[in-house]
Structure 1
Amino acid sequence: MKMVVHLDKNSYPIVLERGVLTHIGDFLDVQRKVALITESGVPEKWVELIRKQLPDGLVLTFPEGEGSKCFTQYENLLKQLIDAHFTRKDAVIALGGGVTGDLAGFVASSYMRGIDFYNLPTTVLSQVDSSVGGKVAIDVGAVKNIVGAFYQPKAVLIDPDVLQTLPQRQINNGLMEALKTGLIQDPELFRLFESDDRCIDAIIEHSIDVKRRVVEQDEKESGLRKCLNFGHTIGHAIEGAYGLNTYLHGECVAMGMLFMIENAALKKQVLTIYEKLHIPPVPDYDVDVLMDFIAHDKKNNAGSVTVVLVKELGSFVLEQWSFDQVRAVLERGPYEE
């Protein structure tokens, strides 16, 4: 299946196909220098599958984990491109999850003011969400994605076959971003989660199609695209406070969504899905600690923050809240009506 993100001169295809990574030359020019940027956790079989299709390929591997989205790894990758004499006609491929896409994309966006970038996501989270939309960034300290750019890939190639090597917890973690999409935009996608047969291909297709349409209308998050931050304001705070060694990104988003669902029956349905997917409960957090992270969130605007509320399945409301309103919700807790 092929979809297109229509963004005038920055338009690009999304190819969702089992086995697509076996013939990447059908979608990008491999007859040039190509840096295959990947993280240490990506199985060697997938790295080798891509490398052998690159006649002049350079494999650049960084340590697995969010901690690599930093200036040190960013600089290391840039230096390796310089040492290999990459030019503006060459390209970068990201092979991995959201961290790889963020870091490799930011490298591509800034090397010689921008070279071609291709995203080959290998996790559920990146296949259903982060690989599409052009957000690339690194972290500074505990502040996520604070330095970055909007830089669209030339193509996104999604191969569900690569998910076979993922641990179940990572699969469930990524599914939370898809569930988010269903809650705000796509009731049919949400119902796939209530089914005993959760077809991953259908979940990816629905999720990416919603993301594609939102990005087409609001590429740089000035309005509609903010809806995709549902669950992220408080979720990022939990992520910052507890670290990704405790909870995964999607698990934190799942926790954050509970605070912003204003429909008791819907929240009960969501909690049932969480139980089936073994999503951990919200920890006994310190309100002041979470508020400190929220105060440093890049989406803040002069002492307030845009929150995404869900009152009915498949729809959302954007509201500008003061920090006092956010604090009140945290003090109320995620499970209260």
Structure 2
Amino acid sequence: MPRIEVGGATPYTVTVEHGALKRARVPQQRAALIVDAGLPGGVVQQAQAAFQPELTLEVPSGDACKTAEVWSRVLSRLATANLPRDGAVIGLGGGATTDLAGFVAASYLRGVAYYSAPTTLLGMVDAAVGGKTGINLPEGKNLVGAFWPPRAVWCDPDVLNSLPPAVFREGAAEAYKHGLISDPTLLARVLSPDFRPDHPDFETTLADAIAVKAGVVTRDLTEQGERAYLNFGHTLAHAIEAVTHHGTSHGDAVGYGLHYAALLSRELGGSDLSGHTRRFLAWQQPKPLPDLNFDELNSYMARDKKADSVGVRFVLLHDLAQPYLTRVPDDVLRRVYAVWQTEVSPERLTV
């Protein structure tokens, strides 16, 4: 049973184990369970049996839950139920659900205990670990939030068996990204036929992918330096999500964004890693993109959370496991975008 320790001022453990959800417990006597409305009933029942919440609140699936309206409505329900300061909030669902639930916990009574039980591969590898919580605005993704680490995280591979194959592949984008920026052994393992929840080696690969993020956030919780590297591929990805009004899933957008970042890295003198990202896209088979205007995307990239008063910055790679943060001139962004557009056309993304 892999157990990953996340350090820092408020350390916690990430448990990666088949059956972890059934065995999960919280010490608080009163808890609210925030669940993705699209979850299978059996998963919700397992969580309710484990946590014994006095209140279960359903929220919309995906980014539809990451709005000020949903956040406010959930807070009102907690207040109506008189959840006390020594109570707890538990998030059960994909990355969007755990982002919202964490922000609810950070906001309610100026902060109550938070626990995370992600039910998607994307949520396990990325959103549930690291303490970033938040919601979106019409102007961009994750523009409102707080750093609020969970008290514990339970990653149960058994719950992934119910995911449609396309949703599972979406989540693999974050694991593959961790291979590019830190642990290159993950690249082949993610694309292997063995990368499936029922394979004996899956727990180890999942834990290794999570460990990359755990190590980074232990050293840099509030993104003063190294944590920015976790956003490799995300600058364009978040812009795609915004421009398509979340018609493109986060995992698909990250897959596309990884390839753009690899092409930018090559353009600025780094090793040509675009073969890796092209291979991932061919495996992932993301939904085709609509025709996207560079200038519209660029306006959203300028609002990216890595931007500062001078302008937008990108995470790029000198080589595998050698990330860096830099500014990229607009003419380079535009030129490489034209190359990227051609390479991510559906007819080019064949296995």
Name the TM tier (shorter chain): over 0.9
Q: Quote the residue 1:17 is aligned against.
A: 17
d(CA) in 1 for partners of 2:191 and 2:163?
22
d(CA) in 2 for partners of 1:117 and 1:139?
20
The 1:229–1:256 alpha-carbon spacing in structure 2 relative to 1, beyond 3 Å, is same
d(CA) in 2 for partners of 1:205 and 1:103?
24
- Taking every aligned residue pair, what percent have the same amino acid on both sides? 37
Kindly provide the amino acid, as one letter, of the partner of residue 4 in structure 2.
M
d(CA) in 2 for partners of 1:55 and 1:259?
45
Kindly provide the amino acid, as one letter, of the partner of residue 254 in structure 2.
V
Deviation at 1:53, TM superposition (A): 2.9
Deviation at 1:334, TM superposition (A): 5.4
Kindly provide the amino acid, as one letter, of the partner of residue 99 in structure 2.
D
Q: Quote the residue 2:239 is aligned against.
A: 237
Kindly provide the amino acid, as one letter, of the partner of residue 60 in structure 1.
L
Moved more, 56-65 or 194-203: 194-203
* Selected match of 1:50 from 47, 70, 78: 47
After superposition, residues 10-159 of structure 1 pair within 5 angstroms as 10-25=10-25, 28-30=26-28, 32-159=29-156
d(CA) in 2 for partners of 1:105 and 1:255?
27
**Which ranges of structure 2 fall in alignment gaps of 5 or more residues?**
196-200, 344-351
Deviation at 1:212, TM superposition (A): 0.5
Moved more, 86-95 or 39-48: 39-48
d(CA) in 1 for partners of 2:239 and 2:290?
12
Q: TM-score, normalised by structure 2?
A: 0.89
d(CA) in 2 for partners of 1:265 and 1:297?
25
After superposition, residues 1-337 of structure 1 pair within 5 angstroms as 1-8=2-9, 10-25=10-25, 28-30=26-28, 32-198=29-195, 199-245=201-247, 247-261=248-262, 262-263=265-266, 266-280=273-287, 283-333=290-340
Moved more, 271-280 or 170-179: 271-280
Kindly provide the amino acid, as one letter, of the partner of residue 242 in structure 1.
T
Q: 1:259, 1:335 within 8 Å by CA — same for their partners in 2? A: no
d(CA) in 2 for partners of 1:177 and 1:107?
24
RMSD: 1.9
Moved more, 320-329 or 183-192: 320-329
**Which ranges of structure 1 fall in alignment gaps of 5 or more residues?**
none
Deviation at 1:288, TM superposition (A): 1.0
Q: 2:16, 2:156 within 8 Å by CA — same for their partners in 1? A: yes
d(CA) in 2 for partners of 1:105 and 1:281?
32
Residue aligned with 2:327, SS:
strand
Q: 1:34, 1:91 within 8 Å by CA — same for their partners in 2? A: yes
Q: TM-score, normalised by structure 1?
A: 0.92
How many residue pairs get aligned? The number is: 331
Deviation at 1:285, TM superposition (A): 2.0
